[in-house]
Amino acid sequence: MTKTSLYFLQTHIKKMCAINELSPQLSDATIKFNGDVIAYNLFLETVEQVPVAISITDKKAKILYVNKEFTAVTGYQPDDILGQNESILSDKRTPKTVYHELWHTIRNQKVWRGILCNRHKSGHRYIADLTIAPILNEANEITYYIGMHRDITQTHEAEKNVINQKLLIESVINASPIAMVVLDAQDHVILDNHNYKALVSDLDKGEPAAFFLTLLRNEMGEHWTQLQTDKQGFNHYEFKIEDKNGRRARWFSCAGNWFLENDIHVDAFFDQSAKHYLILTITDITRQRRQLEALHIQTLKTLMTEDERVRSIRETLLGAIHQIQMPMNQIKAAEQILKHKGTEQNSGLLNILQQIQTSGEEAIATMQHCLPNILHITEAPVNLNQILHEVLLLNSQRLLNNGIDVHWQPLAVLPHIMGSANRLRMLFNQLLDNAITAVSAPYSGEQYIKISTHLTPELIHVCIDDSGPGIPVDKHSKVFEPFYTANATGTHKVGMGLVIAKEIVTQHHGFIDIDQHYYQGCRFKISFPLPPHELGEETL
């Protein structure tokens, strides 16, 4: 309020009060304001009817004038209240400091604005949004105060309700054992809870929401856009996240729901524009997964034991066939020589040799008949990280018992290959078994096994490194031959392990090699082609 308008009010309030005291009839007197002549009764009518509770007091807050709205808001008729102090409205709950500040402000000729708790004539309380302005005389002294207030109880309650609801929602969200985050259309985090904040440091993947959104979009492809357009939610999208050194993998299940919020900006007042948000929930399901995994590993162990039994029977029988085959060949050669000599006296010996041959061939045929069959292979998408992880778990006790350090370094996100999970498990189990045996041999150096996965545009690679004695380069191709051992001291089992390993790799259209340039021990490099749909366009 400017000094001019204060002065204007001051001069005319006097008249107004005088008129009110002497006569309720309005005067036809006119006043001058900014050079315009306006009707005094028009001014008074306006103040009377304005929908704000107006009171005019003397310097001590004694009420001299109230308008109609004042009566409506406070319940006091002019007769009840004229001559009383404004403190009649005080509920005595408003802290004294508020009044001190109020009076300090208005006595310094400034306008005070604040919220007080007032008492209605009928006794109920209401919240008053009050403005008090001092009115000055020509000597610049305060002569009156004008107070204007509105009952904002309902607005106040509505605001408090909104705040309470927000606090309630926040505390419910924070108490939730699930990480929750609200994202705007640009993927910016608008709201999150304690569990989500914990993920930021736990996962070490930058903004967790951005990380999971990338995984979800990759996983869903076009479906994501469709869900977003239709505002349909999604559920149970599970991801395995390896930590930096690959030792502690964690599992998370993601769910999401889009919702619309009406735009609150002034520009959108007459528009029905709305913004869409995504509520993303990220549940750590590692514990449940580990339990399932333990069950799974138990089942795998049983299966592998059975596989192992079948394999060792095959190996034993094949070994026996191999062993019989050699003297059989020598007997056949001797028979040929005797036949060639053709003397009568050798006929008895020839006969014996032929009998030995026949019974030998029968024995081989019986053993071949007894060779157990390898189960039929069914192909399905296989994640090699998962297979390697299972194989590590299957061998965890042995690794621990031998004090072997395991460096498990999987690529965080690895495409699937088409293959037989069982056969691939058998392959890596064989290679890990060999590595453990090699590392456990008496050796002075560090005992470690490193398993890592890598990706090139067309291939998935698995490397199994061990710190054992290694295999001489000239023996690299021989180790894939039947019944060959690289270790003359006999620490390596004599068997078909690498032959079967190579057979499995070949069945999966891959290849297996020993790294010639790895000198700290032995490194097996196994590579599989990526399925066509995983190949980048540039590699097609």
**Residue numbers of the site for ligand FAD (CB under 6 A)?**
55, 57, 60-61, 85-87, 89-90, 92, 94, 96, 99-100, 103, 107, 116, 118, 128, 130, 132, 145, 147, 149
Q: Which long-range contacts (CB under 8 A, 24 or more apart) does 288-293 make?
A: 288/251, 289/240, 289/251, 293/390, 293/393
**Shortest CB 137 distance to ligand FAD, Å:** 16
**What one-letter code names the amino acid at 259?**
F
Identify which of residues 40 and 65 has a Cβ nearer to ligand FAD in the complex. Answer: 65
146 close to 166: Cβ distance less than 8 angstroms: no
**Phi (first) and psi of residue 156, to 5 degrees:** -60, -45
**Shortest CB 178 distance to ligand FAD, Å:** 48
Identify which of residues 61 and 451 has a Cβ nearer to ligand FAD in the complex. Answer: 61
**What one-letter code names the amino acid at 215?**
L
Identify which of residues 60 and 369 has a Cβ nearer to ligand FAD in the complex. Answer: 60
**Shortest CB 6 distance to ligand FAD, Å:** 14
**Shortest CB 116 distance to ligand FAD, Å:** 5
**Shortest CB 150 distance to ligand FAD, Å:** 11
For CA atoms 505, 511, 514, 520, give the dihedral sign: negative
Selection from 321, 317, 299 nearest residue 309 by Cα:
317
Task: State in Å, rounded, how far the first CA of the chain is from the last one.
Answer: 77
Identify which of residues 92 and 265 has a Cβ nearer to ligand FAD in the complex. Answer: 92
Identify which of residues 133 and 522 has a Cβ nearer to ligand FAD in the complex. Answer: 133
Distance of CA 372 to the CA centre of its chain: 48
Strands 53-57 and 142-151: antiparallel
Identify which of residues 102 and 435 has a Cβ nearer to ligand FAD in the complex. Answer: 102
**Shortest CB 47 distance to ligand FAD, Å:** 14
**Shortest CB 154 distance to ligand FAD, Å:** 18
| Token digits of residue 232 | 């349909």
Identify which of residues 40 and 145 has a Cβ nearer to ligand FAD in the complex. Answer: 145
281 close to 258: Cβ distance less than 8 angstroms: no
Identify which of residues 62 and 247 has a Cβ nearer to ligand FAD in the complex. Answer: 62
**Phi (first) and psi of residue 282, to 5 degrees:** -125, 110
Q: How far apart are CA 478 and CA 172, in angstroms?
A: 66
| 430, burial (CB in 10 Å: exposed 0-12, middle 13-18, buried 19+) | buried
Chain length of the chain: 540
Identify which of residues 70 and 212 has a Cβ nearer to ligand FAD in the complex. Answer: 70
Identify which of residues 74 and 429 has a Cβ nearer to ligand FAD in the complex. Answer: 74
Residues 6+ apart with CB under 8 A from 166: none
Q: How far apart are CA 129 and CA 117, in angstroms?
A: 9
Task: Print the SS3 string covering 314-353.
Answer: HHHHHHHHHHHHHHHHHHHHHHHHHHHHCCHHHHHHHHHH
**Shortest CB 81 distance to ligand FAD, Å:** 11
Selection from 459, 456, 457, 451 nearest residue 387 by Cα:
451
Selection from 316, 538, 342, 520 nearest residue 435 by Cα:
520
**Shortest CB 15 distance to ligand FAD, Å:** 19
* Radius of gyration for the chain, computed over Cα atoms and rounded to the nearest angstrom: 46
**Shortest CB 46 distance to ligand FAD, Å:** 19
**Shortest CB 63 distance to ligand FAD, Å:** 8
**Shortest CB 142 distance to ligand FAD, Å:** 10
Angle at alpha carbon of residue 210, lines to 205 and 211, rounded to 5°: 40
Identify which of residues 92 and 533 has a Cβ nearer to ligand FAD in the complex. Answer: 92
Identify which of residues 101 and 481 has a Cβ nearer to ligand FAD in the complex. Answer: 101
Identify which of residues 149 and 523 has a Cβ nearer to ligand FAD in the complex. Answer: 149
For CA atoms 310, 315, 316, 318, give the dihedral sign: positive
**Shortest CB 56 distance to ligand FAD, Å:** 7
3-class DSSP state for residue 469?
coil
